[in-house]
């Protein structure tokens, strides 16, 4: 029997008992929907993280007190270390021959005021003048910092777009004076809007030159260094130079591990991949179970269907259906059934992913391959679990079938 | 010689016992004949019909249909013979309930690969031949018993088979409708078809030209039917 004809007959049979068909397909639908939804969310996160990391540049690496922490124990260990200071950074700048560009940032929090409006608990970033290069912030209005700003410890600042919204609605923020903590600063530029990442707002910050930061907010804060190596090939060499300088300055003894952490975009990516790798395995495991269950349900319903249509099978054989005609008929029916379940699952999963993307901090990207894979898996399940009932049907003896009540 | 069975036996195994449904039956039927096979319940007439209809194969002995020895064919070959050479009419009509009359009649053509326009044309013609040209899109539950049997007859005819095999064709019909169907079979016989009717009713058997009596798995006797003026 032609495949389209078989499919039409199958669809008619499926539609003739919608309730039973839906109940049959629940397992399949859930399995496929889960795959699509989770793959989309993971794809979205991969996308975002990759973008963020790309903006770091492949020749940039970071140095801070902690390094990449993966456990609470590591964190507590790192807490005991000495802070990385701005003098450490100057030392690196001075003595590291391979370092192309050395930048550093330091953080604190203050209340920011403009006239009668104020915002509390704003992150204040003290940064070297290459802030734009080492972060992924672009300046939308005004200008970035100059070396002279830093050298003169000028009280100038860059603000994030949220501050513009709250403190300067409808106004031109550049050249206005805002109060950071107890000190007045002049706004020289506004950063671009970045939205939020994993629930954290990325637009409510204020940046000041690092030397200014130290003048107004203290010298003894943790510094995070961003260092650019001359090329990817020489990155390790550059890192080693920095390591030597810092170990020396900080009194790390020969046998001790580094009292600081060096990490790159790659190592972040590796960590991220490890974490999501686990998520993948869990996802595949859970979905497989769901799909196997779904397949068994379909197989059972097909067996029932075969029994119910014993008479019909007898009639078909009597008028000339060969075994393979009957086999095909029921196989097409179970594949059609599964595909319908798969399609519903794909739609449900996509809807779920979009909801998650819209209403939670997690991003979601619906990938074409996951849709195709979802449908592919559904039809494979239909094929595999449909073979047994179809063979049963094909092997029935026509004489017995015709006498079946 | 259209049908020739040579001492055929059919033995069934029921658990540890053997049941001899047919114990050496030899019959001959010519092309164009109208034969009735009669016998009480359990006589083996249904078994004989299954063998003649190639739904089953004999345990012993040979069956020749159109000079071809069908008793040794495999499943697929038997299916082919059933499709091309044999048209079944059942007591319980056995139509597909969810398909229209046209679709039901198309079914044998679907199974031998006839496609599209030609298929619909042949099915339509068969339905017209049995007088249902105006009801081809009706589903079985929209048709009366007699009409359903006519659809079954059209389905039996559509492949222009060598033989039409009717198993108690009037069993589920009232007397009047039954007569109509028997008249239809008589018309088909006049048109040149070979007809075999299996029945336990004398009245029905008398529409034929010859009756073969089966009892206890053997041919008991054969009888020529002399047609009275009124019955033909």
DSSP collapsed to 3 states, A239-285:
HHHHHHHHHHHHCCCCCCCCCCEEEEHHHHHHHHHHHHHHHHHHHHH
B94 touching A (Cβ < 8 Å): yes
Residues A125 and A146 in one domain: yes
3-state secondary structure of B51: helix
Q: Judge whether B196 and B30 are in contact, CB under 8 Å.
A: no
The whole-number pLDDT of residue B229 equals 53
Residues A255 and A275 in one domain: no
Domain boundary among A249, A264, A279: A264
Residues A294 and A222 in one domain: no
Q: What architecture is the B30-50+85-224 domain classified under in CATH?
A: 3-Layer(aba) Sandwich (3.40)
Nearest to A66 by CA among A247, A263, A360, A349: A263
Residue range B184-209, pLDDT digits in tens? 999 999 989 999 999 988 999 999 99
Which residues in chain A are closer than 8 Å to B50, comparing Cβ atoms?
A: 399
- Residues 6 or more apart from B15 whose CB is under 8 A from it? none
Residues A18 and A124 in one domain: no
Which residues in chain A are closer than 8 Å to B76, comparing Cβ atoms?
A: 322-324
Average pLDDT over residues A157-173: 87
3-state secondary structure of A157: strand
Query: Alpha helix locations (H) across A101-160?
Result: 131-134, 147-151
The whole-number pLDDT of residue A55 equals 65
Q: Which of A153-157, A201-205, B60-64 has the lowest mean pLDDT?
A: A201-205
Residue range A353-390, pLDDT digits in tens? 888 877 776 777 777 887 888 889 889 999 999 999 99
Domain boundary among A231, A247, A264: A264
- Which residues of B, range 28-57, sit inside 8 Å of A by Cβ? 50, 53, 55-56
Residues A164 and A242 in one domain: yes
Domain boundary among A237, A264, A291: A264
The whole-number pLDDT of residue A199 equals 60
Residue range A27-55, pLDDT digits in tens? 889 888 888 888 888 777 777 777 767 66
Average pLDDT over residues A233-255: 86
Residues A223 and A280 in one domain: no
Residue range B141-188, pLDDT digits in tens? 999 989 999 999 999 999 999 899 999 999 989 999 999 999 999 999
Residues A302 and A386 in one domain: yes
**CB nearest A12 (choices: B82, B98, B110):** B98
Residues in chain B: 232
A309 touching B (Cβ < 8 Å): no
Q: Mean pLDDT of all residues in chain B? A: 90
pTM: 0.71
Place of tokens 């009639």: A315
Range of A17's domain? Answer: 3-51+270-402
Do B111 and A5 count as a contact with CB atoms less than 8 A apart?
Answer: no
- Which residues of A, range 177-206, sit inside 8 Å of B by Cβ? none
A319 touching B (Cβ < 8 Å): yes
Place of tokens 């007190």: A65
Q: How many domains does chain A have?
A: 2
Residue range A320-336, pLDDT digits in tens? 999 999 999 999 988 99
Domain spans of chain B, in order of start: 30-50+85-224
The whole-number pLDDT of residue B232 equals 47
- What percent of chain A has a predicted confidence (pLDDT) above 70? 95
Do A323 and B76 count as a contact with CB atoms less than 8 A apart?
Answer: yes
CA distances for A53 relative to A61, A80, A198, A280, B117, angstroms: 11, 28, 15, 21, 64
The whole-number pLDDT of residue A324 equals 92
Q: Mutate which of A315, A320, A321 to test chain B, going by most B C-beta atoms within 10 A? A: A320
Residues A209 and A248 in one domain: yes
**CB nearest A315 (choices: B75, B94, B110):** B94
Residues A107 and A256 in one domain: yes
The whole-number pLDDT of residue A204 equals 86
């Amino acid at each position: 029997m032609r495949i389209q004809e078989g499919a039409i007959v199958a669809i008619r049979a499926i539609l003739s008992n919608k309730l039973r068909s839906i109940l049959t397909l629940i397992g399949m639908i859930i399995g496929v929907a889960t795959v699509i939804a989770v793959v989309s969310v993971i794809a979205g996160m991969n996308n975002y993280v990759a973008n963020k990391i790309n903006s770091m540049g492949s020749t940039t690496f970071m140095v801070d007190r902690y390094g990449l922490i993966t456990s609470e124990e590591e964190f507590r260990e790192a807490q005991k270390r000495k802070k990385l200071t701005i003098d450490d950074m100057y030392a690196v700048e001075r003595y590291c021959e391979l370092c192309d560009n050395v930048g550093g940032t330091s953080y604190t929090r203050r209340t920011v005021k403009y006239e009668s409006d104020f915002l509390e608990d704003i992150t204040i970033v003290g940064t070297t003048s290459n802030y734009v290069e080492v972060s992924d912030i672009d300046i939308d209005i005004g200008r970035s910092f100059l070396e002279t700003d830093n050298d003169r410890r000028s009280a100038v600042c860059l603000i994030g777009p949220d501050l513009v919204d709250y403190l300067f609605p409808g106004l031109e923020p550049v050249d206005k004076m805002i109060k950071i903590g107890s000190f007045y600063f002049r706004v020289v530029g506004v950063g671009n809007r970045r939205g939020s990442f994993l629930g954290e707002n990325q637009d409510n910050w204020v940046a000041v030159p690092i030397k200014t930061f130290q003048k107004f907010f203290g010298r003894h804060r943790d510094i995070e260094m961003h260092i650019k190596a001359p090329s990817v090939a020489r990155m390790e060499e550059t890192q080693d130079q920095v390591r030597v300088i810092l170990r020396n300055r900080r009194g790390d003894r020969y046998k001790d591990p580094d009292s600081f952490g060096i990490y790159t975009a790659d190592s972040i990516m590796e960590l991220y991949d490890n974490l999501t790798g686990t998520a993948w395995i869990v996802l595949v495991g859970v979905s497989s179970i769901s799909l196997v269950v779904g397949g068994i349900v379909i197989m059972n319903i097909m067996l029932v269907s075969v029994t119910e249509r014993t008479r019909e099978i007898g009639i078909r054989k009597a008028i000339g259906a060969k075994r393979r005609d009957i086999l095909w008929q029921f196989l097409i029916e179970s594949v059609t059934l599964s595909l319908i379940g798969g399609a519903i699952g794909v739609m449900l999963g996509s809807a779920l992913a979009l909801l998650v993307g819209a209403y939670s901090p997690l991003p979601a990207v619906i990938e074409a391959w996951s849709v195709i894979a979802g449908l592919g898996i559904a039809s494979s399940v239909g094929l595999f679990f449909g073979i047994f009932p179809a063979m049963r049907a094909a092997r029935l003896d026509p004489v017995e079938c015709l006498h079946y009540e | 010689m259209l049908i020739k069975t040579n001492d055929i036996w059919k033995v069934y195994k029921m658990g540890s016992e053997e049941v001899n449904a047919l114990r050496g039956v030899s019959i001959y039927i010519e092309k164009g004949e109208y034969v009735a096979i009669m016998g009480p319940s359990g006589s083996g007439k249904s078994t004989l019909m299954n063998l003649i209809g190639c739904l089953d194969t004999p345990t012993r002995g040979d069956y020749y249909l159109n000079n071809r020895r069908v008793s040794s064919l495999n499943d697929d070959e038997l299916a082919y013979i059933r499709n091309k050479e044999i048209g079944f009419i059942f007591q319980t009509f056995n139509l597909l309930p969810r398909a229209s009359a046209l679709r039901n009649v198309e079914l044998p053509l679907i199974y031998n690969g006839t496609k599209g326009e030609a298929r619909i044309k042949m099915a339509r013609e068969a339905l017209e031949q049995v007088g249902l040209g105006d009801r081809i899109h009706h589903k079985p539950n929209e048709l009366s018993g007699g009409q359903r049997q006519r659809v079954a007859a059209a389905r039996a005819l559509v492949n222009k088979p060598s033989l039409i095999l009717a198993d108690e064709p009037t069993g589920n019909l009232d007397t009047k409708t039954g007569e109509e169907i028997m008249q239809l079979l008589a018309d088909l016989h006049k048109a040149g078809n070979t007809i075999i009717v299996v029945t336990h009713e004398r009245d029905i058997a008398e529409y034929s030209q010859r009756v073969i009596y089966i009892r206890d798995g053997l041919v008991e006797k054969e009888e020529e039917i002399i047609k009275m003026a009124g019955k033909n």
